[in-house]
Chains A and B, each alone.
Chain A
Amino acid sequence: MSAADDVDDLVVQFQKSGLRELHLRCDDLEIHLSTDSAQPGISRSRGSVPAPVPRTAAAPVAPAQPGTPPRSRATPVLPDGATVVRAPYLGTFYRAPKPGAPPYVEVGTRVSPATELCMVEVMKLFTSIRAGIVAEVHAVLAEDGQMVQADQPLFVLVPA
């Protein structure tokens, strides 16, 4: 039985159970089921500390129909007024100007249009990505030193 079938079964059981909300975490898989479509999913910040979106976060499946394939690794649900900053091209994502230096920004950093968020490098061409707006960093979606694809979301900015 595949993981997708497991998730399908889980959705069916959840709907039969009468539960309003189910949150399950197993190794690097995280699933959040809810009957309330207004309910925030995993990718939203909880509590007072905004959390980066886990790489393996599943989109909220709510309300799900039996047999509907679960959406996996979909775009995170964005807070109101959020802006997604994307990679200009395929390349390596750098959060700091050089190894060992502090990151340009962290979650919660207030940024202005000229604030550098990161660098993307492909074949020795370094491009600094700037915020472009006045905002606050809500989430960092890529890992330092990793390859990112063209147009891959890198940061979520929200109105400060």
Chain B
Amino acid sequence: MGIKRLFIANRGEIALRVARAAQALGIETVLGVSSADRESAAARLVDRVLVLGPGPAAKSYLDARLVVHAAKASGCDALHPGYGFLSERAVLPRLCTEQGIVFVGPDAAMMEALGDKLRARSAARAAGIPLVPGSDEIATAEDARRVADGIGYPVLLKAAAGGGGRGMVIVKNAGEMTAGYQKASAEALAAFNDGTLFLECFISEARHVEVQLIGDGTGNVLHFGERDCSVQRRYQKLIEEAPCVAMPDDLRSKLHAAAVTLARSVKYRNAGTAEFLYDVARRSFYFIEVNARIQVEHPVTEMVTGRDLVQEQLRIAGGDALSLEQKDVQLTGHAIECRINAEDVDRGFVPVPGTVTRWEPPEGSGIRIDSHISQGAAIPPFYDSMIGKLIVHGQTRQRAVERLTAALDAFVVEGVPTTIAMHRAIVRDPQFISNQLHTRWLELKFLPEHGAAAG
């Protein structure tokens, strides 16, 4: 059937990315913006712009009824949610279906099944995927202590409805359980309106690896290799790489197979990511969760596979079969992405809105910039602090790191503080260069050594 007119329900670099992918496929584009984003790069590129509401996201990008109404009123036959905002809320695909609009992503039922971490764990268990040792739903701090005593400390309390690190608390021993349980439950309730918790064995030095998947909804699923996103701060990824060269090939094959098996078992449709923890010392990986959307870090996968994942999303949503087979997905070289955030690293990473007075991104072969920023662009105070992504490709990880170092050194941004200087220091760190990383390396080692406020 094919999509004719696409509504883009997002902003920033991903709105621009989706608009370009749609235009490359000959699809008309309509963008819903807040009044703060009328002059954004994506607004200038698309065929039509509708102002959804004022700057605060709750009154614009997060109002599902308003967004779907705008899509319907502008004659769109499909809607792309991007990432963040409403992209993982089942209400969005549900409203789209009611209005006869194709949702570029999985359907509401699948989103609900995968969005709830406990249900996703059940699906993974049923598919025979290894899980971090842990519990099902726990009702009280006493129950949590009983389970944790069996698993062994430290444990990680997590919100069943959670994401982004909220409702996550590390409990180091039985004595900390009551306070930890109350804190995690209160955070989960405040953030997700659901205080349900479960717990997992806390693997202190794990890498974060994730497998990019695309399914057609009938059980055909392809993987596009894995990404390593171990450089994080407060569970937020800062640097992502593809492939995960720290993982031996036989284990990588098992990882891909596990992710594909899981996605196949639920007949996954569209792009998604299965996330795992990789315990290097034990040579084991454990399923964490599925992200049922395109992710921020998808460009590193595109750089090593040469495939356009957003175009593939639009084709599948338009009713096409998968345009390739697994053997067509070949990985070449190594890619690394740095997230450039408008944050003051020296003041505990506080985000700083403002106006970009100078924007000179690096250029050259093997360098890709995904950003909506240009000189004079406003960074509104209402949204995420990410203002762009620098992605580099090289034949090996070492070549990629060298290229990244030069690219970061050439990157000039003025008007707001950014994380570029921190990235310059990271890529020169011996542990980063030798790839001796884990998810808490940045917070426990790098930031204290560099005297930066961990925040």
Closest chain-A Cβ to B243's Cβ sits at a distance in Å of 30
Q: Of A88, A89, A90, A123, which is within 8 A of B383 by CB?
A: A123
Q: Which residues of B contact A91 (CB under 8 A)?
A: 381
A152 within 8 A of B: no
Q: A90-B353, A98-B190 are in contact. Are A122 and B381 (CB under 8 A)?
A: yes
Q: Of B56, B342, B384, which is within 8 A of A92 by CB?
A: B56
- Of all chain A residues, the one with the shortest Cβ separation from B58 is A99
Contact residues on A (Cβ < 8 Å of other chain), bracket: 10 to 19
User: How many residues on B have C-beta within 8 angstroms of the other chain's C-beta atoms?
Assistant: 14
Per DSSP, are chain A's interface residues mostly helix, strand or loop, or mixed?
A: loop
**Cβ contacts A121-150/B at 8 Å (1 or 0 each):** 011110000000000000000000101000
A123 close to B190 (CB less than 8 A): no
A97 within 8 A of B: yes
Q: Which of A56-97 contact B (CB under 8 A)?
A: 88-92, 97
B385 within 8 A of A: yes
Q: Which residues of A contact B382 (CB under 8 A)?
A: 92, 123
B351 within 8 A of A: yes
Q: Which residues of B contact A89 (CB under 8 A)?
A: 350, 352
Q: Which residues of B contact A92 (CB under 8 A)?
A: 56, 381-382
A125 close to B351 (CB less than 8 A): yes
Q: Of A98, A122, A145, A147, which is within 8 A of B350 by CB?
A: A122
* 12 examples of A-B residue contacts, CB within 8 angstroms: A88-B350, A90-B381, A92-B56, A122-B350, A122-B352, A122-B353, A122-B381, A123-B351, A123-B381, A123-B385, A124-B351, A125-B349
B56 close to A123 (CB less than 8 A): no
Q: Which of B339-365 contact A (CB under 8 A)?
A: 342, 349-353
Q: Which residues of B contact A98 (CB under 8 A)?
A: 190
- CA–CA, A88 and B344, complex, Å: 13
- CA–CA, A124 and B342, complex, Å: 12
- CA–CA, A8 and B383, complex, Å: 44
- 4 shortest interchain CB distances as A-B pairs: A123-B351, A123-B385, A122-B351, A122-B381
- CA–CA, A92 and B381, complex, Å: 8
Q: Which residues of B contact A88 (CB under 8 A)?
A: 350
B381 close to A124 (CB less than 8 A): no
In the complex, which of the residues B381, B383, B385 has the most CB atoms of chain A within 10 Å of its own CB atom?
Answer: B381
Closest chain-A Cβ to B88's Cβ sits at a distance in Å of 15
